[in-house]
Structure 1
């Protein structure tokens, strides 16, 4: 279940970075990695859910990790901005997801 979620996160990050590299699909070679990446990502997210992971936890972790990893990778690969405020926002997203997960464990 966790390996499927990690795979879903990785594929979503690759698909999103490919989307950025496609320059609005003007670079057609990136269309296949975008489509395949998102399809595989959703499939792996479905696998994770079908194995019993709660949807709130899975989706929260998937999105939070995706946001953080894409922001950092886009900074490195495309020189996109990554300010201290953006990093603080990422930290707040991660804190929110952890709060939801810990709250879910108490039941």
Structure 2
């Protein structure tokens, strides 16, 4: 539900999070390398796209978050991982009601 190990090669985790209270969704990434990035796109009225990139070793050792997108229950949300080491982007999609709930 909303969390996936994206790349067996490098091992980062990508999680799509959802707050019913705020009506928002975002992605967070951990276990990544410097310059890896994650994008989240929420379908809907503004088809929002937000990006987060690991810019330092300190960030690589913790969570990196995208900005929040305004969403509604059941909306489709897609996260894509772009590894700096190559290999192409890897994506997964879920609905906000299937994402990891964050109170």
**TM-score > 0.5 by shorter chain:** no
With the length of structure 2 as denominator, give the TM-score of the two structures.
0.30
Q: Looking at secondary structure, tell me which structure has more strand per residue.
A: 2
Q: Looking at secondary structure, tell me which structure has more helix per residue.
A: 1
Q: Which has the larger radius of gyration?
A: 1
With the length of structure 1 as denominator, give the TM-score of the two structures.
0.29
